[in-house]
Amino acid sequence: MRVLFNGVTALKPKTGIAHAAANLHRALVDTFPTDTFWLYPGERIARLARRFFSSGGKQANTSAKSGRLKTLAKSALGAVAKLGYGAHFQATARLGRFDLYHEPNFVPFRTGLPLVVTVFDLSVLLFPQWHPAERVKAHEQAFARGIARADHVLVGTEAVRAEAQRHLGLSLDRVTAMLCGVGPQFKPQRAEVIAAMRAKHNLPSRYTLYVGTIEPRKNIGLLLRAFCDLPSELRAACPLVLVGGWGWKSDTEREYFHSDARHRGAIHIGYVPDEDLPALFAGAEALLYPSFYEGFGMPPVEAMACGTPAVTSTADAVCEVVGKHALKLNPNDFAGWRDVLKQIALEPSFLNDYRKRGPAHAATFTWEACARITWGVYRKVLGLPLAEIPLRSAA
């Protein structure tokens, strides 16, 4: 079986969907070595693309005029690249003798190949106010057509599977939930590794943590206000640390952070390299995840794997993923989130029960299991028998 797997989303600095695509592809290659899972655009073009994306923002020593010219040039180059991307992908699909095309990032190209599409969430469709207008417009134009062409749709959770049936009109036999995995790097960390990470990012010995892009559906405004409403001695005892970039429509949160929260002890360290995350999770008193909506929600499970308890919202998919192994609060419950922050600061043992139960629960999420479900969908779409392949022993 030869599968064309679109890996373009993983060329930029990775966020949730890109991480999932990269990890799934790696697990497919490792678990099914007799099949081919060709990662578009190939290693040579991928190296050039990564160099293009990584060059952004390095204009500190240039004049304002020069900086604007470089920005315009980069934007123009990006537009040309986007036009060429579609044509190149379709040519690759025609010439590569592939059996199937898997699009892991929502909107597929038209290739004529049997098609599997991954849809991690329906937030653009269900909550367009949380997304840029151009993204909503693009989905309105292409998303429904792409889904209609798909032979099968993969989703992250049963919650999204039900949404796909309800809002997209898909029959349940065309949609499969493929619960994502937790990478082996997410595990309890040695004390010296945690200490080195604290020193690198200038963090205190105790802190609560949020990880993810700061955008409307993540509900970070409530988290910042709840933290700022604590007495000063509690804020100092256990500051709130935000890890992740300022995303679309985050001006309100950014302004509040700089005008109030930063002066009251909140810390924003921005986007960090992937290798920093396990120690950041492991060093935290708790991972805080107040999202209004998610398709899966990886950070709580990654935190659990590192031995850190999670406090999450009651969003459907998040509840499905964390089960009874996290403390859950309504995302609109300001007093509830404030009181949890207070209890964490006052009582280091407050979440110990969740801390003990988390690692075993997180261990049930593996990329190998996700790859096996995905491989089974490929075989189903192609009408091939589903041979039984035993699970590999843990290392």
pLDDT digits (tens, 9 = 90+) for 139-173: 777 888 889 999 999 999 999 999 999 999 999 99
CA angle 57, 40, 378 (to 5 degrees): 135
Are 2-181+366-382 and 191-362 in the same CATH fold? Answer: yes
Structure tokens, 131 = 């997304």
The CATH class of 191-362 is alpha beta
Q: Does residue 87 register a pLDDT over 50? A: yes
Tell me what the mean pLDDT of segment 64-88 comes to: 57
Q: Does residue 14 register a pLDDT over 70? A: no
Q: pLDDT over 90 for what percent of the chain?
A: 73
Tell me what the mean pLDDT of segment 108-113 comes to: 93
Tell me, what's the pLDDT at 72? 44
Name the average pLDDT for the chain.
89
Q: Does residue 241 register a pLDDT over 70? A: yes
Tell me what the mean pLDDT of segment 240-255 comes to: 95
Q: Does residue 80 register a pLDDT over 50? A: no
Residue 239: band (very low, low, confident or very high) from pLDDT cuts 50, 70, 90: very high
Q: Does residue 60 register a pLDDT over 50? A: no
Instruction: Indicate the pTM of the whole model.
Output: 0.86
CB-CB contact of 355 with 88 (8 Å)? no
Q: How far apart are CA 211 and CA 240, in angstroms?
A: 11
Residue 136: band (very low, low, confident or very high) from pLDDT cuts 50, 70, 90: confident
Residue 51: band (very low, low, confident or very high) from pLDDT cuts 50, 70, 90: low
Tell me, what's the pLDDT at 49? 54
Structure tokens, 360 = 């075993």
Tell me what the mean pLDDT of segment 266-278 comes to: 95
Beta-carbon contacts of residue 174 (< 8 Å; ≥ 6 apart): 150, 151, 152, 153
Question: What is the residue extent of each domain of the chain?
Answer: 2-181+366-382, 191-362
Residue type (1 letter), 239? P
What CATH number has the domain spanning 2-181+366-382? 3.40.50.2000
Tell me what the mean pLDDT of segment 281-285 comes to: 98
Tell me what the mean pLDDT of segment 208-213 comes to: 96
